[in-house]
Structure 1
Amino acid sequence: MTDSKEPVSGPLRRLGTSLLTLGRIRLELLAIEAQEEKERIAGLALWAVLAALLAGFGLLMLLLLIVVALWDSHRLLALAAATAVLLAAAAVALAKLKGLLAQPTTLFQSSIAELREDADALRRRP
């Protein structure tokens, strides 16, 4: 009698290969997400620094113009107002920064969702 069934190691080998392939695909997805997030953060940082520098220089020049215009009549008042404006702008920027740091990150959310779907699919199989 010849047994037409394939040996037990065949299905186990295919299962192992499938699991390794699934793991590799998930790791590639994680790597792609990490790269995209890195590029997004670098772009955000570059434009944020540039915008902050230009806005700061613009505000400083405006305040200098006001101080020079009021130099003969209200010199101390103009300097005090310029200082108050700069400190208020710094406080607003600090509050915005704290708000941004408090937001949760979305890094690897797609990968986590895919892994949950994989786990649910494996649990549903008999």
Structure 2
Amino acid sequence: MSDQESAPAGLLAALQRLGSHGLELLQLRLTLLGTELEAEKLRLTQALLGVLVVVLMLGAGLLMLSVTVLLICPEAWRWLAALLLACGFGLGAWLLWRRVQADMSAPGGLFATSLAEFQRDRDAMEQR
């Protein structure tokens, strides 16, 4: 009779351990997810500040270049120089915009490490 009484207690203990391990695994994965979110936030903030500095410096440099080119050109051709500068700036802006779009749509994405860990967990559970 003691064998029959110990079997449910052993099963209950095994289920409790399994639940405890499952919750521990979930806690670890959520911690990893939070860490990735924090790193992504820092990366984005750093990128935005870098872009702001680059835009300000590029704007000042282009303004000085434009003024220099317009002052060097003869008065009769200044309108053409201004038009060519505007077209060049427009083309440069378009090319930079395309590059930014390509960088933002690069593979990897947000939470790539967490998703890979969840996939490893699923694969490990399917093998059992």
In the TM superposition, what is the alpha-carbon distance from 1:109 to its structure 2 partner?
1.2
1:91 and 2:111 aligned: no
The match for 2:18 is: 15
The match for 1:39 is: 42
In the TM superposition, what is the alpha-carbon distance from 1:92 to its structure 2 partner?
1.5
CA distance in 1 between counterparts of 2:18 and 2:115 reads 22
Higher relative contact order (CA 8 A, sep 6+): 2
In the TM superposition, what is the alpha-carbon distance from 1:104 to its structure 2 partner?
3.3
2:33 alignment partner, one of 27, 30, 34: 30
**SS of equivalent residue, structure 1 residue 104:** coil
TM-score scaled by length of structure 1: 0.86
Q: Residue type matched to 1:80 in 2?
A: L
**SS of equivalent residue, structure 2 residue 87:** helix
Structure 1's unaligned 5+ residue stretches are: none
Matches within 5 A, 1:1-126: 2-3=2-3, 5=6, 7=9, 8-72=11-75, 74-125=77-128
Q: Residue type matched to 2:30 in 1?
A: L
Structure 2's unaligned 5+ residue stretches are: none
Structure 1 or 2: more helix by fraction: 2
CA RMSD of aligned residues (A): 2.0
TM-score scaled by length of structure 2: 0.84
CA distance in 1 between counterparts of 2:120 and 2:46 reads 32
